[in-house]
Amino acid sequence: MATRFTLKDHFRESRLINGRLLFAAFLSVLVFSAVFVRLVVLQVVEYEHFDSLSDRNRVDIEPLPPQRGLIYDRNGVMVAENIPTFSLEMVPEKVPDLEQTIAELTTLMSLTDEDIEEFRERLKQHRQFHQVVVRQRLTEQEVARFSANRHRFPGVDIEGRLIRHYPQGNLFAHAVGYVGRINERELQIIDQQDYKGTLQIGKTGVEKEYEETLHGEVGYRQVETNVQGRIVREIMSEPSHSGDDLFLNLDINLQRVAGEALTDFNGSVVALDPRNGAVLALVSKPDFDPNLFVSGISSKDYAELRDSPDRPLFDRALRGSYPPGSTLKPFVVLAGLELGVVTEHSKTYCPGWYTLPGHDHRYRCWKHHGHGMVDMTDAVAQSCDVYFYDLAHTLGIDRLHQFLDLFSFGHQSGIDIPSESAGLSPSREWKRASRNQAWFPGETLISGIGQGFNQTTPLQLAHATATLAMRGVMQEPRVVRASRKAGDNTMQLRSSDRVNNLPMQNSQNWEAVIDSMVEVIHGARGTARHVGEKMPFKVAGKTGTAQVFGIAQDAKYDAETIARKLHDHALFIAFAPADKPEFVVAVVVENGGSGSKVAAPIARKLIIQHFGLELDEPQPDQ
């Protein structure tokens, strides 16, 4: 029973608490005695041991950075390697007088103002007790000159390092990416232990996505150093483990052919193996030399790349958003078949224009005088817009959007390279959410021919085409084929494990659409007849032209009078062989003007290269 405490209680409590206080005091003395004993052990018993570690020499622990994994293309051609260089490095904490040291180094090593400026920039971001590069890529004379004067510069030393080198130059600039100096933001993310002694980290492309695989494991060695911090003796060491080597699906020959075929156009080429999602070519033009970034790009070079109106740093294959134009039509017609809106043989009359019921606005077909009566195959082969206006109108935007969703339009393809754009597949909900506007029926029509709000990346186009080619089997695109552990030569395949089968009610619909795409190439009136010439197999494809700007109601497009920047984008998608697809290609040529004249021939060159065809020489058998 609880009572208010009385004086008697108070005395009892005092005795109780004081007893406990006494016990606590006793315990404290006991615990501190343990600390005393510990100090005696360290400072008296083991004094000799620690004194020898500290007094004569000083123990330093030095990280041994791992060698970054190499990267090869699918033929085993080296794409990224490590080459030895000498660099002048400084640990600022060990330098007695920084300014004086810089001044003396400037005279000795003839540092330029730019060198010093960049060094100061690096100095601001450096990690405590870590080397800061003063100057990279020393010549042998410079190494010799510094070595002779080394005693004058405590805390400064020549460091032999392996730095990244991309022997193929521009060819893989966007796909493989590059490494660069670790910046402050990355410093927050990485495990500081793993990156002791490492100066570079993957910044873009494969180099970034596979950073963990490529990086390897840091080693260390315990060394004795003299007062100046120079190493006297190694006490023990734990070697570093190199990162895994990567083997790409990319084919250097395809990369080269695609890059050359684009000539001086800006644009992008993506080629896939539809059977397993392997990315065979991933080209974005213009490109740049990734080697510029490895040892810190000079601000002048960077400004040039950044400010160029052609935007060479921009990866068009993954991030370039273009209206798909007519390349979307095979997917739209498949929607029509699948949802029972059209059949293989139902026909639409094309007078050269289309009007919505109750409106008088004319939506024009690209062919001014019309295609006449067209069925599905004609419509795809001749790219008749009116057929698709009508089809899209009947489907409605909701069903169209839902169906295109299946092919990942408006979604990332899931490629193993960072910063892929999702593109845009418009819908009623999207327009309401992003623009707070209602959807207009006319917008459904232009969506049906891949114009309007539609935005796709070249990769998305290739990915959707691959899914179509495989009759609905969808695979995530993969740039990296396999990795190889350093040391033992075990290969680990890295195939796409996300395989998705699109649900279709009638598998005959696939064949109908693919047949119509074969007509594009091999039909008498196909828009890309020249692509299939002399090919030993059937090719399926579709041309496309994406409007860069709107054309007035009755104006006629006149390529001659419009500046090249305003030319339409030329697009082309194709796969071969049509019945058993092994190769898919999507081409986007910015301001190329015509899909069939500019984009399609590029695809043909890639097909020829990939299948090793020798068509341009006279072939008696063909």
Partner 1 sequence: MNHSLISDRQQRNGWQPGRLLQMLHVDATLLLCLLLLLGVGLMMLYSAGGQDMGLIIRQLVRLGVAMAAMLIIAQIHPDRMRDSAYWLYGFGLILLLAVLLFGTEGKGAQRWLDLGFFRFQPSEIIKLAVPILIAAFLAERPLPPSAWRLIFGLVLIGLPAFLIAKQPDLGTAILIASSGLIVVFLAGISWKLILSFIGSCAAAAPVLWYFMHDYQRRRVLTFLNPENDPLGAGYHIIQSKIAIGSGGVFGQGWLQGTQSHLEFLPERSTDFIFAVIAEEFGLVGAIMLLCLYLLIAARGLFIASQAQSSFSRLLAGSISITFLVYVFVNVGMVTGLLPVVGVPLPLISYGGTSMVTLLAGFGILMSIHTHRRMMSP
| CA 245 remoteness from chain centre | 18
Which of residues 7, 31, 433, 552 is near partner 1 by CB under 8 A? 31
CA 131/CA 122 separation, integer angstroms: 10
Please count the other Cβ atoms lying within 10 Å of the Cβ belonging to residue 492: 10
540, 471 Cβ separation under 8 angstroms: no
Residue 570, token pair as written in the block: 């030329």
Q: Which is nearer to partner 1, 54 or 505 (CB)?
A: 54
Q: Which is nearer to partner 1, 222 or 321 (CB)?
A: 222
Note the helical H segments in 173-230: 184-189, 205-209, 211-215
Nearest-angstrom CA–CA distance, 569 and 548? 7
**HEC states along 466-528?**
HHHHCCCEEECCECEEEEECCCCCCEEECCCCCEEECCCCCCHHHHHHHHHHHHHHHCCCCCC
Q: Which of residues 34-53 bind partner 1 (CB under 8 A)?
A: 34-36, 38-40, 42-44, 46-47, 49-51, 53
Helical axes 600-611 vs 252-261, angle rounded to 10°: 160
**Choice from 220, 354, 409, 583 touching partner 1 (CB under 8 A):** 220
Q: Hey, which residues between 266 and 305 contact partner 1 (CB under 8 A)?
A: none
Go through the chain and tell me how many residues it has. Answer: 622
- 5 vs 440, beta carbon nearer partner 1: 5
Q: Quote the least distance from Cβ 193 to partner 1, whole Å.
A: 5
CB of 131 to partner 1, least distance (A): 14
> Between 385-406 and 441-448, two packed helices, what is the crossing angle to 10 degrees?
90
- Active-site residue identified among 87, 284, 295, 326: 326
Nearest to 315 by CA among 264, 266, 256: 266
Per-residue contact string for residues 225-244; x = within reach of partner 1 by CB under 8 A: --x-----------------
Give the strand pairing for 156-165 and 78-90.
antiparallel
Residue 95 C-beta: closest distance to partner 1, Å:
13
Amino acid of residue 86: F
**Do residues 284 and 316 touch, judged by C-beta distance below 8 A?**
yes
Secondary structure (DSSP) of 122-169: HHHHPPTT--EEEESS--HHHHHHHHHTGGG-TTEEEEEEEEEE-TTG
* Contact assessment for residue 443 and residue 452, using Cβ atoms and an 8 Å cutoff: yes
x/- string (CB under 8 A) for partner 1, residues 143-182? ----------------------------------------
Question: Closest approach of Cβ 39 to partner 1, in Å?
Answer: 5
10 binds partner 1 (CB under 8 A): yes
Residues 514-553 touching partner 1, rule: CB under 8 A, are none
Stretch that binds partner 1, among 19-27, 140-148, 451-459, 500-508 (CB under 8 A): 19-27
Provide, rounded to whole angstroms, the least separation between the CB of residue 504 and partner 1: 47
When asked if residue 2 is in the footprint of partner 1 (CB under 8 A), the reply is yes
Site string for partner 1, 85-104 (x = CB under 8 A): --------x-----------
Q: Which is nearer to partner 1, 43 or 419 (CB)?
A: 43
Is 326 an active-site residue?
A: yes
Contacting residue, 105, 129, 231, 520, with partner 1 by CB under 8 A: 129
Among positions 422-441, residues that touch partner 1 (CB under 8 A) are none
Q: Which residues on neighbouring strands pair with residue 588, listed in sequence order?
A: 268, 571
**Segment contacting partner 1 (CB under 8 A): 25-33, 157-165, 334-342, 444-452?**
25-33
Among all residues, which ones are annotated catalytic?
Answer: 326
Give contact residues for partner 1 (rule: CB under 8 A).
2-3, 5, 9-10, 13-14, 16-21, 24-25, 28-29, 31-32, 34-36, 38-40, 42-44, 46-47, 49-51, 53-55, 58-61, 63, 93, 129, 192-193, 196, 218, 220, 222, 227
